[in-house]
């Protein structure tokens, strides 16, 4: 017999086995006991939190021959057939693959037929938000007044994409992310049944990395078993996930706290040489400093998920760091994580971000450690003044406000929308441009796509230029003038006035020159 993945082998078979969703399980069981089962349900929430499992349990319950206090017996022929996937009246539909109107019309035609094996026909439509608008319209009437023998269960991770007309015809249940503690306890039960030895620290890491999804946690555990066998420790989990080890996180965080820039850069390089991913390093640091912040602000130990060994070190750092700094480092690392997707030099981006963090903490302290040497207060002030002066020289100022190009780049779509609201033709010319930099005078440099000189000339007409600059001011709250890249104009001594006019026509209306032969 082929191997069955752990998340399938330990899929819940009754409501009491669904972890972390007691509010939903209790409501459904009461509805079954009191014969108040609705004709359509919407299960929504993050992936791996029990939506499809609960739908299958509900399908068993409405067809079970020996229902016990709202729980299916898992022993009658109907329950056994549903558990093995051989029940003719339970249909699982993947809306991502069957999203068109033809598939829904086919479903609509078949629901009218009576069940062939059980008491109720159950249609479980997974990722229902993927259906097209036409498909939703085709489903609407059937969902509103289905035959008495039909039950619909719609499951989705994105309920905001479902039309209100569909939402209003379903009983909605919101599945929440499962807590780290609940995931850890369930994993302990699984490893006990499987006869596997897993260290407490390893279970903690798996539970944290699952980020509230039980299926993800069980899949990680399954992968670790395949890697390490029946004895798993924290090191095995770190290798499987590519995360930093606890010792590495503590060493790197301690270097950041002490302001040892050289040590931080060295440890980042060591981690990358060992095969760690830059994004994973950033995520691990964000998670760790979040735990430190929770230690400083929260009295509840339930929110703390790091190991006891890390906890003692983290408590030492708590007293050295202010709340404002912890907020700053988390926000800065989150910004670095967001920018990594666009960067061709991710290591440099991370290093620069951490240097900025260290300069922030050092600006609030009397001493600064550079390459292991503690400097005096005058040296620190001199160093910070040098850095500040250099930043001011490299960052142009307009109307007393530093011009932040990354902020302009991030809010460029919003600026385009503002221009479109004011004048749609100006927006049509502006979409051919891309902001590329800030010049020494603090002007925003636009680069126009090749062959769009006409668009550039239109934008830099007084009225259009003024409109764009006004939109920038409304979005960013600062006045910034426009300029463009000074590209060398192409000249051709043989060109005529007619060809110039033709070029402009091609730029304005598009198209190409073709030769017509008789």
Angle at 268 between CA 262 and CA 271, to 5 degrees: 140
Residues 118 and 168 in one domain: yes
Angle at 210 between CA 333 and CA 309, to 5 degrees: 70
Q: Does the residue 496 lie in any domain?
A: no
Note the pLDDT tens digit of each residue in 352-407: 888 888 877 666 554 444 444 444 445 544 554 554 454 444 444 444 445 577 88
Residues 409 and 387 in one domain: no
Q: Does the residue 140 lie in any domain?
A: yes
Residues 91 and 53 in one domain: yes
pLDDT confidence of residue 515: 47
Q: Does the residue 232 lie in any domain?
A: yes
Q: Which residues of 113-147 are buried (b: 16+ CB within 10 A; e: fewer)?
A: eebeebebbbbbbbbbbbbeeebbebbeebbeebe
Among 140, 174, 208, give the residue marking a domain's end.
174
Among 190, 214, 241, give the residue marking a domain's end.
241
231-232/197-198 β-pairing: parallel
Residues 281 and 318 in one domain: yes
Residues 16 and 132 in one domain: yes
pLDDT at 435 over 60: yes
When divided into structural domains, the chain yields a total of 4
Domain containing 157 — which CATH number? 3.40.50.300
Q: Which helix (H) or strand (E) holds 338?
A: helix 323-339
Q: Does the residue 490 lie in any domain?
A: no
Residues 338 and 424 in one domain: no
Domain containing 416 — which CATH number? 3.30.300.180
Q: Which residue segment(s) compose the domain that 341 sits in?
A: 246-394
Among 122, 145, 174, give the residue marking a domain's end.
174
CA distances from 386 to 358, 380, 393 (A): 15, 10, 11
Mean pLDDT of the chain: 81
Note the pLDDT tens digit of each residue in 112-136: 888 888 899 999 999 999 998 888 9
pLDDT at 25 over 80: yes
> Is the pLDDT higher at 242 or at 175?
175
Residues 208 and 75 in one domain: no
Note the pLDDT tens digit of each residue in 466-489: 899 988 888 888 888 888 876 544
- Greatest mean pLDDT among 43-52, 334-343, 394-403 lies in 43-52
444-448/433-438 β-pairing: antiparallel
Residues 129 and 230 in one domain: no
Q: Does the residue 54 lie in any domain?
A: yes
Q: Does the residue 236 lie in any domain?
A: yes
Q: Does the residue 507 lie in any domain?
A: no
Domain containing 261 — which CATH number? 1.20.272.10
Residues 293 and 431 in one domain: no
pLDDT confidence of residue 52: 92
Domain containing 225 — which CATH number? 1.10.8.60
Residues 27 and 163 in one domain: yes
Residues 314 and 373 in one domain: yes
Residues 237 and 215 in one domain: yes
368-370/373-375 β-pairing: antiparallel
The mean pLDDT value for 310-327 works out to 82
Q: Does the residue 517 lie in any domain?
A: no
d(C-alpha 418, C-alpha 476), whole Å: 11
DSSP character at residue 449:
P
d(C-alpha 28, C-alpha 84), whole Å: 23
């Amino acid at each position: 017999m082929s191997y069955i993945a752990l998340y399938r082998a330990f899929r819940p078979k009754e409501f009491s086995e669904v972890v972390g969703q007691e509010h939903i399980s209790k409501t459904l069981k009461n509805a079954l006991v009191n014969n108040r089962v609705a004709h359509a349900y919407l299960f929504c929430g993050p992936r791996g939190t029990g939506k499809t499992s609960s739908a299958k349990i509900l399908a068993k319950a409405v067809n079970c021959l020996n229902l016990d206090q709202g729980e299916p017996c898992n022993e009658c022929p109907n329950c056994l057939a549903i558990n093995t996937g051989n029940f003719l009246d339970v249909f699982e539909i993947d809306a991502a693959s069957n999203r068109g109107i033809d598939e829904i019309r086919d479903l609509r035609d078949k629901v009218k037929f009576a069940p062939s094996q059980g008491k109720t026909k159950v249609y479980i439509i997974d990722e229902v938000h993927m259906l097209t608008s036409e498909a939703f319209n085709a489903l609407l009437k059937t969902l509103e007044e289905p035959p008495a023998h039909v039950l619909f269960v719609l499951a989705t991770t994105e309920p905001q994409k479902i039309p209100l007309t569909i939402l209003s015809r379903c009983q909605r249940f919101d599945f929440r992310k499962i807590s780290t503690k609940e995931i850890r306890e369930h994993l302990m039960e699984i490893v006990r049944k499987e006869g596997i030895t897993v260290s407490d620290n390893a279970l903690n890491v798996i539970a944290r990395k699952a980020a509230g999804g039980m299926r993800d946690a069980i899949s990680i555990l399954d992968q670790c078993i395949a890697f390490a066998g029946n004895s798993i420790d924290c090191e095995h989990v770190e290798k499987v996930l590519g995360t930093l080890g606890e010792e590495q996180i503590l060493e790197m965080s301690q270097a950041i706290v002490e302001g040892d820039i050289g040590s931080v850069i060295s440890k980042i390089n060591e981690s990358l040489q060992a095969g760690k991913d830059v994004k994973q390093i950033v995520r691990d640091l964000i998670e760790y400093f979040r735990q430190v912040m929770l230690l400083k602000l929260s009295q509840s130990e339930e929110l703390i998920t790091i190991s006891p060994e890390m906890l003692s070190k983290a408590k030492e750092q708590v007293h050295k760091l202010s709340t404002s700094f912890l907020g700053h480092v988390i926000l800065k690392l989150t910004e670095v994580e967001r920018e990594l997707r666009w960067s061709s030099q991710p290591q440099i981006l991370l290093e620069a971000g951490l240097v900025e963090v260290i300069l922030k903490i050092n600006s609030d302290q009397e001493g600064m450690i550079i390459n292991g040497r503690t400097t005096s207060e005058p040296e620190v002030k001199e160093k910070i003044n040098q850095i500040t002066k250099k930043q001011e020289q490299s960052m142009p100022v307009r109307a007393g406000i530093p011009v932040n190009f990354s902020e302009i780049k991030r809010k460029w779509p919003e600026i385009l929308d503002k221009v479109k609201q004011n004048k749609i033709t100006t927006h049509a010319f502006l979409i051919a441009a891309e902001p590329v930099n800030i010049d020494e005078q603090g002007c925003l440099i636009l680069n126009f796509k090749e062959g769009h000189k006409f668009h550039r000339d239109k934008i830099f007409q007084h009225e259009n230029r003024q409109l764009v600059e006004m939109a920038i001011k409304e979005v960013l709250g600062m006045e910034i003038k426009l300029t463009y890249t000074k590209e060398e104009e192409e000249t051709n001594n043989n060109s005529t006035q007619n060809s110039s006019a033709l070029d402009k026509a091609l730029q304005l209306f598009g198209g190409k020159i073709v030769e017509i032969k008789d």
